[in-house]
Structure 1
Amino acid sequence: MSTEAELREEFITAFEDAEYPVTGQMDLVPALPKGPRTKFEAGGVSFSVMELASKLGSHADFPYEDVESLVDDIMDALREEDEI
């Protein structure tokens, strides 16, 4: 499985239990398995939730109605920022 596919799977697992629609980043924190200490790791990359939030803040397009649209934007932003 590619790094992108692994990260996508991790993001979906972490964010699928959020209460949608989510209107901001703080709406996602209760869904995270380790809260703000959650880390996402795949291949040679690793992001804490705080790092992810700071890298992607300007790319977010809240509100999100479902996990798929949220994760699509996260993945697009990571590509645009040359993180993956």
Structure 2
Amino acid sequence: MSVKEEIHSQIVGALADASFPINSPEELLAAMPAGADTKCKAGDVEITAGEAGALLTPEDFPIESAKQVADTLVERAGL
């Protein structure tokens, strides 16, 4: 599995119990198991939910699924 696929999978997994839609960055962080400190790691790449949240814009909300979050984040992070 590539780094991109692994990070994507971890983001989807972290949001498995989240209720959608998510309407704000604050709601997204609250949905993460350890809030802003939730970490995804693959190979030598590590990113926290707080860092990843900086890649989202107000236009990204509402978010309808964990896959949408993961797709957007891995694309914008350039993984």
TM-score interval for Structure 1 and Structure 2 normalised by the shorter chain = 0.7 to 0.9
Is residue 61 of structure 1 aligned with residue 64 of structure 2? no
After TM superposition, list the pairs within 5 Å mapping 1:1-84 onto structure 2: 1-54=1-54, 56-58=55-57, 61-79=60-78, 84=79
Structure 1: 5+ residue stretches without partners: none
Q: Percent identity?
A: 29
Distance in 1 (CA, whole Å) between partners of 2:18 and 2:58 is 19
Distance in 2 (CA, whole Å) between partners of 1:38 and 1:50 is 8
Residue 28 and residue 46 in structure 1: after superposition, are their counterparts in 2 closer, same or farther (change >3 A)?
Answer: same
**Number of corresponding residues:** 79
CA RMSD of aligned residues (A): 1.8
After the TM superposition, list the runs of 4 or more consecutive aligned residues in structure 1 that deviate by more than 4 angstroms.
Answer: none
Distance in 2 (CA, whole Å) between partners of 1:76 and 1:49 is 15
